[in-house]
Structure 1
Amino acid sequence: MAAIQDVAFPASTGRPMRAALALGNGGTRRPGVIVIHEIFGLNDDIRRITARVADLGYVALAPDLFDTRSARVLCVLRAFLALRRREGPAFADLEAARAWLARRPEVDDARTGVVGFCLGGGFALLYAVRAPLAAAGVFYGEVPRAAADLRGVCPVLAGYGGRDRLFASQGRRLEQLLAELHVSHDVHVYPDAGHSYMSRHTGVMATLAAWGPMAVGFNAGAEADSWRRIEAFFRTHLG
């Protein structure tokens, strides 16, 4: 698996923001991919996922959107508020991350993608409407209700868990909206999976969340198929 480097890039305020960078192998310039974390922030699980993206042949960068001077709970609340309002510092920080990644010598600045999970999935989808991206991966993220809110979005790959009573219907809505907009897409709802099926959460909270309405938990089959789909979709649209 690709090695992870701890780096910092200038956020939208100019202040350094932490991030995880995975270069992978390759002697030529290759596409960059922004990886957007879940509500838990830039943890070891997101680092693992970032390395996995790099293994597909990309330069992957996972910014820590919670790396501000505020308490973590305020960072989370502001992120959710930005997601609902479709504007805010988080979107500006994602653009700063994309610009920084595009300037790296290993990156082909003409080809950039994004992939996000849970909270990050919602950001990935909305960011893909406003940014010059070639492909977006959206996993169990929030979806707008109107097609107009997604007008201009790049090709979208998405995955949702059918046992997730809060987000499964959003996956089905996403497929309908993208079809209405005639946007190239691959959306799949996995019947046996719940929320965060690609993450390997541990501890008491993970155990309790598995019994909640979102049925949070890792699902090996859904994860494996999602990585297969990511590789194929990104290869087609990102290169």
Structure 2
Amino acid sequence: MEKMRKFCWGVSLVLLMMACSSGESDEYIDRMDEEHEGDRPVANAATQSENADRLPVSGEEVQYATVNGTEITGYLATPDEAGDGGPALIVIHEWWGLNDNIRMMTDKLAGEGYTALAVDLYKGKVAESPDSAGTYARSVDEEEAVENLDQAYRFLTRQQGVEAVGTIGWCFGGGWSLQTALAMPEAIDATVIYYGRLVTDAGELSTLDMPVLGIFGAEDDGIPPEEVKKFEAALDEAGVTNDIHIYEGADHAFANPSGTRYNAEAAEDAWQKTVEFLAEYLN
């Protein structure tokens, strides 16, 4: 299986570089600049919400990768009663970076029974304004990001002893959740995309060997419904199991409780769909 994973990794890396051309990435970030104009990662009541039904968890900062000589630190959250070999998630931050909101979401995922590792594609930088977020997103070297995510997978499987690994990300991280699945199709067992950059070519998507859950807002001009429908059609054509949802009245970043576009009704429904999807395909 390890030899097969490495082989598929090599093939998929080529596909990834084709899908993540510099021009396409820059165009997407330009759209995110417009979508987040005037937005701020500010806390609100939903940020502090608790769920009594969740398992108690423990969280810590961990070094999970070294990329081009730079040590990468992420946030690892685990259920306090987690046993060996349980399911895990690679959690990928929004364009704000690995901030307290992402740590909270990582704890929340761990509370559902997953070993959850929030990766850091910004190498320790955290944005406080749309301008700095756009700068940090544009500074990401895509080949380094793939290596970062591959090492996150190895950290979970080799050091944490997990067997099934899924990916989840929002905004910038939603796009990278899909790209991680394309890079490691034989390794990733489930993929969740919250309003991230999409691939709409069925040939590229045909390498995916896991189910995909997609969460999007109908008012999102950065990832418009027309593009989401093309993505869904391409997944269907490629024979990839998928569950795609477009929420009426919801804008980009509607599920971020620390942002100014939070839509509680849509976010809560999307979270329930996420929990059910992960339970079906990772547990």
Structure 2: which 5+ residue stretches go unaligned? Answer: 1-55, 126-131
Q: Does 1:185 find its partner at 2:242? A: yes
Q: Does 1:136 find its partner at 2:191? A: yes
Contact map agreement 1:31 1:59 (CA 8 A) in 2 = yes
- With the length of structure 2 as denominator, give the TM-score of the two structures: 0.71
Q: Measure, in 2, the Cα distance between the counterparts of 1:73 and 1:234.
A: 30
- Secondary structure in 1 aligned to 2:79? coil
Structure 1: which 5+ residue stretches go unaligned? Answer: 83-87, 207-216
- The Cα offsets for residues 174-216 of structure 1, whole Å up to 9 and x where unpaired, read as 21111111111111000121111111235xxx4xxxxxxxxxx
How far is 1:147 from its partner? Answer: 1.3
- Identical counterparts, % of pairs: 29
How far is 1:162 from its partner? Answer: 0.6
Q: Measure, in 2, the Cα distance between the counterparts of 1:48 and 1:120.
A: 15
Please state which structure has a larger fraction of its residues in helix: 2
- The Cα offsets for residues 65-85 of structure 1, whole Å up to 9 and x where unpaired, read as 10179x976542133x73xxx
Q: Measure, in 1, the Cα distance between the counterparts of 2:112 and 2:165.
A: 14
* Moved segments of 4+, more than 3 Å: 71-75
How far is 1:104 from its partner? Answer: 2.8
1:94 paired residue among 134, 144, 149 = 149
Q: What is the total number of aligned residue pairs between the two structures?
A: 217
1 or 2 for the larger relative contact order (CA 8 Å, sep ≥6)?
A: 2
Q: Measure, in 2, the Cα distance between the counterparts of 1:40 and 1:33.
A: 20
Contact map agreement 1:11 1:97 (CA 8 A) in 2 = no
Alignment map for 1:1-239 (pairs within 5 Å) = 2-29=57-84, 30-67=86-123, 75-79=136-140, 82=142, 88-105=143-160, 107-108=161-162, 110-131=163-184, 132-153=187-208, 154-169=210-225, 170-202=227-259, 206=260, 217-239=261-283
Q: Measure, in 2, the Cα distance between the counterparts of 1:27 and 1:36.
A: 22
- The Cα offsets for residues 98-131 of structure 1, whole Å up to 9 and x where unpaired, read as 11121234x42x3100001111111111210221
Aligned position for 2:8: none
Q: Measure, in 1, the Cα distance between the counterparts of 2:62 and 2:124.
A: 15
Q: Which has the larger radius of gyration?
A: 2
Contact map agreement 1:163 1:194 (CA 8 A) in 2 = yes
Q: Measure, in 2, the Cα distance between the counterparts of 1:173 and 1:11.
A: 37
The alignment yields a C-alpha RMSD, in angstroms, of: 2.0
Contact map agreement 1:38 1:117 (CA 8 A) in 2 = yes
